[in-house]
């Protein structure tokens, strides 16, 4: 019989009921907040807002709310107010508590678990307002219902003030207002809300739920702004306006957005699409307002139907020659230059995948496929100009596919392990376990030389890149693959690319972009990020992509030295080393404009040593916002880029030009 040590058995050597910890109420949420909101970083902080807003959106989906207002108060507390029916205030027949108190203090208590209350719910993947209550230092709720305004007060999930009636209100006035202040002991990394992050999600919700008016207000003081910042999101056109928004800095091939909005097999299906003259496809899918980053059955149904419809249209087209009519287009061919949004409303969604954002309902695939097959075919027949623009784009993509295949073969001919293919470039590591290995993509031979000399050869590989890689936002896939630096990266990583990408074949689990701290370095970094986002997004989703953070300054006096990553740090170190009366005369300050200015030992100690380095992991929390940003920065349209730079200019300090 296996024996347990005293440590395993407890101090007394016995394992009994007294050793079992019972977490009551919302204690479990405060004990393990990451289990409920993903993390206690900025991502989790913003998730609190989404949970409360989800309740308001559910009321709107049920037809009872038209307006939602989210306010960021000066102390970074949040209030969410809607004009829905108001959370129930009557006493629950079995629990003996008012409905609002149950919703705020008991996990999995809410109207969305009753099929008669909400047909579909946008918060089904979430955890409810009770978790927001548990993770807030203070939460207050006001409810207008039945001609009265009710009020309750909570602190860290515990009721402070029982439900009370504040005043009488007109019977027509209904709704809920929730105010909360996140608990700083939980969210230690940051308690500050980001306008852009919240605006992006609220704008998305307005597009996904046409007719709803969502207002975002920011009452925090800001330089040069006398009044509160406010933006209203309202889209009567729903997904049509969403696609127009996504394509605003692209050049559409046809003026109108093709849209479908119907119900099939008790599943609400809405699709909008428009082609542009670009080469990347931008397709977003949602289930009950949840962004299904990993796709699922609904997206599979859409893609297969789109390919089928366009191939059948080509077969029947009398304006095409026999050779083109016999073409069999692939999914990649028909999606080149496509911007599309698919949104389905499902009563009981079943999610799967690593992040639970992949729809598994088999009935959704058939419903979406039949709707798109039927209605898109009808649309193309009734709009021949639009159809011809789409067909020409797809056929052009098919012709380029053969050239891309030839270019792709160049990356296959040599094994990813054959460093002879990369003479003078890849300095590989000796370990073969990818989880222990990392590769630095380094700007230029000079920095590459320092990195090669300073690295630890057993687990660190160095790949110097000469010049700037191709801008994949403006190039077709065959042109991308014909770029030598791109081919070198693909071969070194070993994963393949596009539909052949296989994360299991990754030769390194850390891919680190290391460029100079100047304008050229920033441009090269952005080009690389654009490449990975468009061609290898799975690498980002797996958490394998990083950005190195080399110091900007070395501050030294005698044998003492410090590395500064900002002007503020530089000045602080200089003052400390110089002493109050000495000044900076004996303090040496060195500015590093390029990695090549560091000797190998310095580069190792500051930027490459896992024990001391700082790196930023590249994430893709909001794919819609990321897509918009890359299109703005790297696309053809100059005006949106100018506006973006002007809006962000006030955040820039001491730009090197």
394: buried, middle or exposed (CB in 10 Å: 19+, 13-18, 0-12)? Answer: buried
Q: Write out the two tokens for 385.
A: 């100009």
Helix axes 484-493, 384-412, angle to 10 degrees: 70
For 242, the 3-state DSSP assignment is: helix
- Residue 387 half-sphere exposure toward CB, CA atoms < 13 A: 20
Helical H runs in 326-413? Answer: 331-335, 362-382, 384-412
Distance set, CA 470 to CA 477, 523, 610 (Å): 11, 11, 31
Q: Per the residue annotation, which of 261, 518, 597, 621 is the catalytic one?
A: 518
CA dist 556 and 565 (Å) reads 14
Match 């190998």 to its residue by tokens: 600
R_g of the chain computed on alpha carbons: 28
Half-sphere exposure of 603 (CA within 13 A, CB side): 25
- Is residue 560 helix, strand or coil? strand
Instruction: Write out the H or E segment, with its range, that includes residue 651.
Output: none
Q: Tokens 């109420």 sit at which residue?
A: 25
Given 58, 516, 622, 628, the catalytic residue: 516
The SS3 call for residue 66 is coil
Question: Does the annotation count 518 as an active-site position?
Answer: yes
Catalytic residue among 336, 365, 443, 622: 443
Residue 266 among the catalytic residues: no
Those residues with Cβ within 8 angstroms of residue 216's Cβ, 6 or more apart along the chain or in another chain: 70, 71, 72, 195, 198, 199, 202, 230, 231, 232, 233
Q: 323 is written with which tokens?
A: 């050779």
DSSP 8-state secondary structure symbol assigned to residue 252? B
Of these residues, 520, 561, 569, 621, which one is catalytic?
520
76 torsion bin: left (phi>0), alpha (psi -120 to 50), beta (else)? left
Strand order in the sheet with 290-291: 258-264, 267-275, 338-345, 282-287, 290-291
The owner of tokens 């896939």 is 477
Is 333 assigned a catalytic role? no
Task: Decide if 332 is catalytic.
Answer: no
| Structure tokens given for 217 | 């207000």
Residues with catalytic annotation? Answer: 443, 516, 518, 520
């Amino acid at each position: 019989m296996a024996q347990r040590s005293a440590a395993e058995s407890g101090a007394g050597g016995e394992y009994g009921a007294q050793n079992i910890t019972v977490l009551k109420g919302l204690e479990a949420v405060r004990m393990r907040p990451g289990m409920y909101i993903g993390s206690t970083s900025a991502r989790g902080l913003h998730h609190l807002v989404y949970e409360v807003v989800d309740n308001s959106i559910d009321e709107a989906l049920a037809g009872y709310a038209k307006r939602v207002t989210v306010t960021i108060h000066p102390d970074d507390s949040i209030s969410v107010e809607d004009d829905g029916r108001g959370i129930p205030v009557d006493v629950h027949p079995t629990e003996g508590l008012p409905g609002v108190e149950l919703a705020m203090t008991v996990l999995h208590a809410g109207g969305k678990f009753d099929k008669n209350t909400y047909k579909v719910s946008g918060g089904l993947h979430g955890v409810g307002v009770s978790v927001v209550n548990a993770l807030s230092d203070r939460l207050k709720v006001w409810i207008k219902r039945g001609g009265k305004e009710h009020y309750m007060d909570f602190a860290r999930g515990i009721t402070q003030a029982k439900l009370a009636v504040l005043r009488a209100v007109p019977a027509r006035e209904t709704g809920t207002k929730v105010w909360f202040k996140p608990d700083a002991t939980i969210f230690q990394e940051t308690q500050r809300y980001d306008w852009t992050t919240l605006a992006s999600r609220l704008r998305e919700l307005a597009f996904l739920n046409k007719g709803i008016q969502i207002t975002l207000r920011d009452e925090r003081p800001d330089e040069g702004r006398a009044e509160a910042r406010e933006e209203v999101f309202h889209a009567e056109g729903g997904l049509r306006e969403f696609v127009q928004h996504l394509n605003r800095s692209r050049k559409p091939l046809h003026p109108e957005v093709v849209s479908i909005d119907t119900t099939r097999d008790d599943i609400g299906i809405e699709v909008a699409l428009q082609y542009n003259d670009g080469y990347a496809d931008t397709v977003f899918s949602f289930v009950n307002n949840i962004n299904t980053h990993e796709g699922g059955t609904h997206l599979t149904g859409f893609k297969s139907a789109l390919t089928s419809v366009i191939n059948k249209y080509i077969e029947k087209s009398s304006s095409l020659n026999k050779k083109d009519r016999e073409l069999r287009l692939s999914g990649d061919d028909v999606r080149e230059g496509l911007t599309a949004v698919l949104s389905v409303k499902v009563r009981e969604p079943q999610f799967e995948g690593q992040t639970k954002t992949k729809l598994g309902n088999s009935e959704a695939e058939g419903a979406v496929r039949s709707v798109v097959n039927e209605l898109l075919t009808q649309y193309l027949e009734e709009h021949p100009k639009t159809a011809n623009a789409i067909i020409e784009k797809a056929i052009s993509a098919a012709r380029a596919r053969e050239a891309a295949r030839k270019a792709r073969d160049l990356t296959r001919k040599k094994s990813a392990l054959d460093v002879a293919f990369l003479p003078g470039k890849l300095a590989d590591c000796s370990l073969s376990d990818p989880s222990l290995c990392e590769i630095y993509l380094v700007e230029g031979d000079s920095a590459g030389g320092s990195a090669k000399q300073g690295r630890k050869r057993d687990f660190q590989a160095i790949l110097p890149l000469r010049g700037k890689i191709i801008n994949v936002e403006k190039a077709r896939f065959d042109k991308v693959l014909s770029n030598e630096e791109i081919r070198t990266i693909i071969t070194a990583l070993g994963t393949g690319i596009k539909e052949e990408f296989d994360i299991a074949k990754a030769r390194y689990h850390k891919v680190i972009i290391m460029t100079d701290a100047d304008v050229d370095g920033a441009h090269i970094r952005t080009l690389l990020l654009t490449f990975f986002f468009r061609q290898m997004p799975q690498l980002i989703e797996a958490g394998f992509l990083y950005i190195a953070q080399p110091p900007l300054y070395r501050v030294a006096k005698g044998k003492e030295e410090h590395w500064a990553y900002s002007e503020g740090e530089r000045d602080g170190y200089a003052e400390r080393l110089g002493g109050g009366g000495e000044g900076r005369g004996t303090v040496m300050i060195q500015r590093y404009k390029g990695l090549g200015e560091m000797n190998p030992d310095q580069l190792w100690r500051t930027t490459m040593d896992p024990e001391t380095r700082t790196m930023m992991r590249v994430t893709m929390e909001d794919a819609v916002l990321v897509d918009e940003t890359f299109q703005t920065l790297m696309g053809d349209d100059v005006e949106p880029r100018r506006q973006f730079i002007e809006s962000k200019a006030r955040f820039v300090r001491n730009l090197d030009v």
